[in-house]
A and B are shown apart, each in its own frame.
Chain A
């Protein structure tokens, strides 16, 4: 059973957290993610969850407390955004290195400076090499579905890595959308009891967690983190299948839209996908063979599957909502390049940076992006990198 409700992204995250009913939540407020923990702390105050809530004094302590709680065997969740995620940076790596299945909702927001509270993906991209699994959402429904699946992915015995599920700041976090929520007992049954892990409350088997590794062991332990990330691909897939049986909603590493016979396609992440799908429809109605790919799981990045899906496209535009500041391209572009290097037919590739600091992305911006691709196809050459919607 399920119900259809109108909820914001933040409400959906909070509602999913209530249904997951974790042991510990440690969190600190930050726009636009504040509401998540605000709503959740009301659940705690009203006694409708079993969770102990730690109202910490910073995001650094939020993640540190989550590490302590998760190390003690508790199912542990938190939420943050932007500067908060940046302040956690040190601890993100430690959470992953200690193999703690912490679950975090992240509301993507630009990073300072200049200070800005609106959406882009710079914060999430800053955490891309930290060992966290990263799942981005296009809409409120996906946010809800992603955070529930995140619990199972994080705790999967082959994985045991922390997971962040994200929404786009304000665009999803504060906008009402209709979504289908599962019944409490269905969610409880799906997430189940957390599988046993070695923990620091086990006095019969005392462990030393966070030991010093010198030249003789560090590399092996980091290799194990890499192995867990590779293995998570299978686990994510299996858990998605299980979730599909429950809900009828199928989630893959990415979603394609009219891509099969597309000659021109764009790749993007998050809420802009909805607008882009409309533009694809519009261009299709004019006879243009266009399509798109939306990346859902950014870490791990499913290079092989992405390659297979893209290698027959003629010209490809990669849309980054974060700049790499490497004098060449954005972070998604690098991943797509890597995916396609060994493709049988390598498409022409262009990189577009768009929507920084919540700059609105309109249909004409996406049309403009496709125009660049059409021109590149015609001329047989590309220009990089194109900034969409900026005054230059």
Chain B
């Protein structure tokens, strides 16, 4: 794995000038992913914050070939590009080794793009699919998605007098992707650059579709202080809300175990979307969320131990 000095010397393929918010996770994720790949890369992006902020015509932050077509289909779009590459290479019309990366937000991955992603995974197109997961439809103004955690207040699951924010727990996208028997799936955060870069390297060397789920803070939607963005992602790991793990050819591996598991309230109190949960009278809600986080963490530990 390259050192951070090596990475800093690499030619950036995602460059400054984009209009992402200060404290947004997506730009950090995109930059790290692109730095981690030291080969020619074709990038696809689902409609979303990253896409609209980085490609406002006539400007672009992508110093590498880039395509966006629609919201729900980045996996299918890149399936086409990757297939074209394979046949053109076979025909001798291109000689480079090319890496294909698809970026989608959680809405474009967990919800509207799930079919397209599932199809691409089953067909085994060689691409890295990165879900920059800010846990809601942030680009359209903070609507709930199936990645939104229980209790979070969004504009379509607002905390009200009778309903305390989103009722449901988030979908387990990692298990869904692992169930496709893809060669590589991992969960990571931008707050640990080495974990992220390491996983991107492994993913792009995998033979088939690889999937990385990256927690990506949204200062407007969560909301949080911009300067705390990276720290919040590390706190998500320390509370076991967002474990760092990878699944290589079906085998689970935990990459980090907190010495002392912090209570979820530590994570909640830095974000406005959970503020209502911390008010007196909502202890039962916090308890139900803590229980589910514990249950999922234990499940994951079992899966890792079995291997």
Whether the pair A64, B88 counts as a contact (CB closer than 8 A) is no
Which residue in A50, A67, A72, A206 is a CB contact (below 8 Å) of B91? A50
B31 shortest CB reach to chain A, Å = 16
Which residues B63-93 have CB closer than 8 A to chain A? 63-70, 72-73, 76-88, 90-91
Closest to A66 in B: B80
A19 interface residue per 8 A CB criterion: no
B246 interface residue per 8 A CB criterion: no
Closest to B66 in A: A208
Closest to A22 in B: B87
A26 interface residue per 8 A CB criterion: yes
Q: Given the complex, which residues of B lie within 8 Å of A199, measured CB to CB?
A: 65
Q: Given the complex, which residues of A lie within 8 Å of B82, measured CB to CB?
A: 68
Closest to B90 in A: A50
Q: Given the complex, which residues of B lie within 8 Å of A57, measured CB to CB?
A: 115-116, 118-119, 122
Given the known inter-chain contacts A61-B76, A217-B57, please indicate yes or no for A207 contacting B65, CB distance below 8 A.
Answer: yes
Q: Given the complex, which residues of A lie within 8 Å of B115, measured CB to CB?
A: 57-58, 61
Whether the pair B60, A208 counts as a contact (CB closer than 8 A) is yes
Give CA–CA (A104, B243) in the complex, Å.
Answer: 46
B269 interface residue per 8 A CB criterion: no
Q: How many residues of A contact B (CB 8 A)?
A: 44
Give CA–CA (A213, B57) in the complex, Å.
Answer: 5
- Identify which of A58, A74, A207, A208 gathers the most chain B CB atoms within 10 Å of its CB: A208
B106 interface residue per 8 A CB criterion: no
B52 interface residue per 8 A CB criterion: yes
Whether the pair A54, B118 counts as a contact (CB closer than 8 A) is no
Whether the pair B57, A69 counts as a contact (CB closer than 8 A) is no
Whether the pair B67, A68 counts as a contact (CB closer than 8 A) is yes
Which residue in A23, A54, A68 is a CB contact (below 8 Å) of B123? A54
Contact bitstring A363-391, B, C-beta under 8 A = 1, else 0 = 00000000000000000000000000000
Given the known inter-chain contacts A58-B115, A61-B116, A64-B77, please indicate yes or no for A201 contacting B52, CB distance below 8 A.
Answer: no
B94 interface residue per 8 A CB criterion: yes
Give CA–CA (A72, B94) in the complex, Å.
Answer: 11
Which residue in A70, A73, A98, A214 is a CB contact (below 8 Å) of B56? A214
Given the known inter-chain contacts A61-B73, A98-B69, A210-B67, please indicate yes or no for A50 contacting B87, CB distance below 8 A.
Answer: yes
Q: Given the complex, which residues of B lie within 8 Å of A283, measured CB to CB?
A: none
Give CA–CA (A212, B51) in the complex, Å.
Answer: 8
Which residues A64-116 have CB closer than 8 A to chain B? 64-74, 76, 90-91, 94, 98
B55 interface residue per 8 A CB criterion: yes
Q: Given the complex, which residues of A lie within 8 Å of B60, measured CB to CB?
A: 208, 211
Give CA–CA (A72, B72) in the complex, Å.
Answer: 20
Which residues B106-125 have CB closer than 8 A to chain A? 115-116, 118-119, 122-123
For this complex, 29 residue pairs linking A to B, each with C-beta atoms less than 8 Å apart, are A23-B88, A24-B87, A26-B80, A26-B83, A51-B87, A52-B83, A54-B80, A55-B123, A56-B79, A57-B116, A61-B116, A64-B79, A64-B80, A68-B80, A69-B81, A71-B77, A73-B84, A94-B70, A199-B65, A200-B65, A201-B88, A203-B40, A203-B64, A203-B65, A206-B62, A206-B65, A207-B66, A210-B55, A210-B69
Which A residues are closer than 8 A to B by beta carbons? 23-24, 26, 50-52, 54-58, 60-61, 64-74, 76, 90-91, 94, 98, 199-203, 206-214, 217
